[in-house]
Structure 1
Amino acid sequence: MNPNLPPLLKDKKIALGVCGSIAIYKSIEILRNLQKLGAKVRIVMSDKSQDFIHPLLFETLSNYEVLCSQTQKWSQSPNNHIEIASWADLFLIAPCTANSINKIAYGIADNILLESFLAFDKTKLIAPAANTKMLENHATLESLEILKQRGISIINPQSKELACKQIGNGALAEPLEITYQVIRAFYQKDFWQDRQIGISSGGSREKIDSVRYLSNYSSGKMGASLALASYFLGANVTYIGSLLPYTLPLAIQTIHTETSQDFLQSIQKWQNSSISNKRPFLFMSAAISDYIPKNPLNYKLKKEQIGKEWNLSLEKNIDILQSLSPKQYTIGFKLESQNGIQNATKALQEKHLDAICLNEITQDFTPLNSQKNHIVWIDKTGKKDLGECDKFSLALKILQEAENL
């Protein structure tokens, strides 16, 4: 499932270059993704790309005249490789063939697309799409390294069935993954870049028997939104959760957990592996059960064995936050239906947290399994109401507050 993101690319100007590849049909979805996020997108087509798609299709969808060898002009309404290089904030080539990769590396500009890319001096991304043998040829690998050294971001292809019907590396990355990397290119901040971020998310599932478990209504959407926002800001993100409500970027390490013990062990493992010059952050948005079944069974308990009533014996669960070493900034989450500020402030002090995010259930609103949330940020200096809005926008606000810890 794709997240419902706000217009993160509002008024951003993006040049989308397309090469002659069978993967060009995915460029249409990339274009639409960027437009939905508010971007203005203009298309630059190589001559070979027109063997696959007519420029009229891109012109209709983009609402801009396509730049290709037939449309380049220098009149009062210019549409040429110099003009578009000045216009765009970011230049993305998707798909980018092995031929174009090698030409870009050595400064060859023998078509309108390569001329435009050469003239562009801001943020550049390319998404390769080629047969495995062409992509992994020494010449192409060397060219990709040259491009990386020049600061051009490479959106790695994926391994799947190619046009030749063989399985191999070289298929264009998924449009959503490409879209994610474009957003990250615009939003990276020095504070978060290469910082380790751990996020626990979703509800724990505590075993009753082999088919039943004790859990809660947590959807994992707040945690997934935090993971996505942290990634966009440039962090190295580890998502530890029982639920994955959205498709996350491939760069986010995802660890599936079920029980509270799973959560504890996975978080401790993340703590021990988070080695960085920047102090890590841990966002504990998971809803861990306060009580767990005392005697879980390894078989299915039949209703004939239970009888008319079922009295389930529970015992108090471990407190994960109090079980962790304070190696990182730790931000807790607390859901309350009454005395929220008082209870959250008490938890902040007793669990030695750096901050806590309070969400409250009222008769009119619940954040559980909702696209929206209402957060009050509380730290040692006081509290700040972040308001009610979609969970992704709240995630950005939470991260903004976290920068001040």
Structure 2
Amino acid sequence: MLLGKTIVLGISGGIAAYKAATLCSRLVQGGANVFVIMTESATKFITPLTLQTLSRNPVYIDTFDELNPAVVSHIDLADRADLVIIAPATANLLAKMANGLADDMLSTTLLATTAPILVAPAMNVHMYAHPAVVRNMELLSERGVRYVEPGTGQLACGYVGKGRLAEPEDIVRAAEQWFAQGSSWKGKKVLVTAGGTIERLDPVRFLTNDSSGKMGFAIAEAAVNRGADVTVIAARIQGEPAAGIHVVRVESAEQMLEEVLSRFDDMDIVIKAAAVADYRPIARADSKLKKKSDRLVIELERTTDILQTIGQRKKGQFIVGFAAETEQVEHYAMDKLIRKNCDLIVANDVSVEGAGFNGDTNIVHLFGQEGRIASWPMLQKSEVAHRLLTLIAERITDKGDRG
């Protein structure tokens, strides 16, 4: 899984830095092209020459020490990385990452990269449990940073507890799992709906909702990253989708229904994240409605329920529905799951700050046939998407194992 991958290995200044030599060696043995960035403090524990010899690449320490005049080193490394591993990650470095500080080569590169980041913390047991460190790690997790949990045992400071750097083999295994994830859904066809549908009153006015499509596109991007063939049926959205996602644009609930049904039979997984209008105007004016009185009465009719329709038609597809509620979240989510024959419902209380439409975060509760199966704190929508797909994969596997 590591063969041909470019890994940036960041080493910060803790006694556990000596383990980075073994980690670097294991990554190189696995076929990775490893570039090491050390903080100044890290060089007090292990020499750059050691890492240079093991990685067979220059070791970077000073942001202003440009080894190759053709590039800006921290930008070049940030762009080339398939994965960034920080081992050990000290409390100081975690604080820099959480607060966006860039005062050395490593922290500057971390701000510039869009590659996934895998962090292996190491510090005193009381430091690891300090509220500031806990909050920094939570914040980074919300932004999509992954962790290799520290071990419990004798620490260099003399304490016994949690805070010991994970073993190099465990960190390598976590890196391999990350890359394996990239092909775990290869061959699977995934359909995602996103955004808020539009039901027109006339050529210039319409009924819609606050959905931005961000959750749907985060799910689609996560599925692409796992190797899936992804199609998004998108209504009104904000922003542009990531590369590799086939997008079909629609406007109304009826148009979305048609596009979903035309593809449904070929799909393995369908995730209905769109906010679809429940009602539409019975009559749509061909020209702009003019003000003629103090009141305007608009008669509405029900739209076809897309989720319920595909739930009735499914033949082995794994179907995930979304439920945006403002009260009795569990009651309405379970009712929706049963009535519409879904495999999972992702529910949130959109009246809660950080869980509503338009934002980059969400707070969700997951429901299966057995009831509530998970509740996640406020997370970036990208992290919600990653966790959701992991849960889907687990339940598909379990479903297959049961025959």
* TM-score where L is the length of structure 2: 0.54
Deviation, structure 1 residue 231:
1.1
Decide whether aligned partners of structure 1 residues 81 and 336 sit closer, same or farther in structure 2, where only a CA change above 3 A counts: same
Secondary structure of the corresponding residue to residue 49 of structure 2: coil
Counterpart of 2:300, as a letter, is L
Whether 1:206 and 2:199 are equivalent positions in the alignment is yes
- The aligned runs of 1:86-235 (5 Å cut-off) are 186=179, 188-235=181-228
2:285 aligned partner: 297
Gaps of 5+ in 1: 1-11, 16-39, 44-61, 65-74, 88-122, 126-175, 275-279
1:402 aligned partner: 392
Whether 1:376 and 2:365 are equivalent positions in the alignment is yes
* 2-structure distance, mates of 1:386, 1:76: 41
1:77 aligned partner: 49
Deviation, structure 1 residue 243:
3.6
Secondary structure of the corresponding residue to residue 312 of structure 1: coil
Decide whether aligned partners of structure 1 residues 86 and 349 sit closer, same or farther in structure 2, where only a CA change above 3 A counts: farther
Whether 1:312 and 2:298 are equivalent positions in the alignment is yes
Decide whether aligned partners of structure 1 residues 297 and 84 sit closer, same or farther in structure 2, where only a CA change above 3 A counts: farther
Deviation, structure 1 residue 189:
4.7
Decide whether aligned partners of structure 1 residues 205 and 76 sit closer, same or farther in structure 2, where only a CA change above 3 A counts: closer
Deviation, structure 1 residue 365:
5.1
Contact 2:355/2:364, CA 8 A, preserved across alignment: no
Contact 1:292/1:314, CA 8 A, preserved across alignment: yes
Secondary structure of the corresponding residue to residue 383 of structure 2: helix
* 1-structure distance, mates of 2:207, 2:214: 20
Secondary structure of the corresponding residue to residue 345 of structure 1: helix
Decide whether aligned partners of structure 1 residues 225 and 307 sit closer, same or farther in structure 2, where only a CA change above 3 A counts: same
* 2-structure distance, mates of 1:86, 1:200: 46
Contact 2:356/2:362, CA 8 A, preserved across alignment: yes
State which drifts further: 310-319 or 320-329.
320-329
* 2-structure distance, mates of 1:63, 1:219: 41
* 1-structure distance, mates of 2:228, 2:271: 13
Residues 299-339 of structure 1, C-alpha deviation per residue, up to 9 Å, x if partnerless?
11122xx4211111111111111222213111000011111
Residues 231-279 of structure 1, C-alpha deviation per residue, up to 9 Å, x if partnerless?
11221111111144344333210111110111111111222444xxxxx
* 1-structure distance, mates of 2:233, 2:197: 11
Secondary structure of the corresponding residue to residue 322 of structure 1: helix
Counterpart of 1:288, as a letter, is V
1:367 aligned partner: 356
* TM-score where L is the length of structure 1: 0.54
Secondary structure of the corresponding residue to residue 364 of structure 2: strand
Decide whether aligned partners of structure 1 residues 271 and 80 sit closer, same or farther in structure 2, where only a CA change above 3 A counts: same
Secondary structure of the corresponding residue to residue 330 of structure 1: strand
Residues 191-231 of structure 1, C-alpha deviation per residue, up to 9 Å, x if partnerless?
42221111000010011111111100001111011011111
2:132 aligned partner: none
* 1-structure distance, mates of 2:353, 2:237: 27
Counterpart of 2:360, as a letter, is Q
* 1-structure distance, mates of 2:34, 2:52: 15
1:334 aligned partner: 323
Deviation, structure 1 residue 380:
1.1
* 2-structure distance, mates of 1:79, 1:353: 52
Secondary structure of the corresponding residue to residue 208 of structure 1: strand
Counterpart of 1:346, as a letter, is D
Contact 1:224/1:246, CA 8 A, preserved across alignment: no
Residues 84-123 of structure 1, C-alpha deviation per residue, up to 9 Å, x if partnerless?
4799xxxxxxxxxxxxxxxxxxxxxxxxxxxxxxxxxxx9
1:393 aligned partner: 383
What RMSD in Å do the two structures reach over aligned CA positions?
3.6
Gaps of 5+ in 2: 1-5, 10-32, 40-46, 60-79, 83-111, 117-174, 397-403
* 2-structure distance, mates of 1:338, 1:191: 37
* 2-structure distance, mates of 1:187, 1:249: 21
Contact 2:362/2:378, CA 8 A, preserved across alignment: yes
1:260 aligned partner: 253
Counterpart of 2:309, as a letter, is S
Percent identical among aligned pairs is 24
1:251 aligned partner: 244
Aligned counterpart in structure 2 of residue 13 of structure 1, from 3, 7, 10: 7
Contact 1:187/1:234, CA 8 A, preserved across alignment: no
Deviation, structure 1 residue 14:
4.1
Decide whether aligned partners of structure 1 residues 248 and 77 sit closer, same or farther in structure 2, where only a CA change above 3 A counts: same
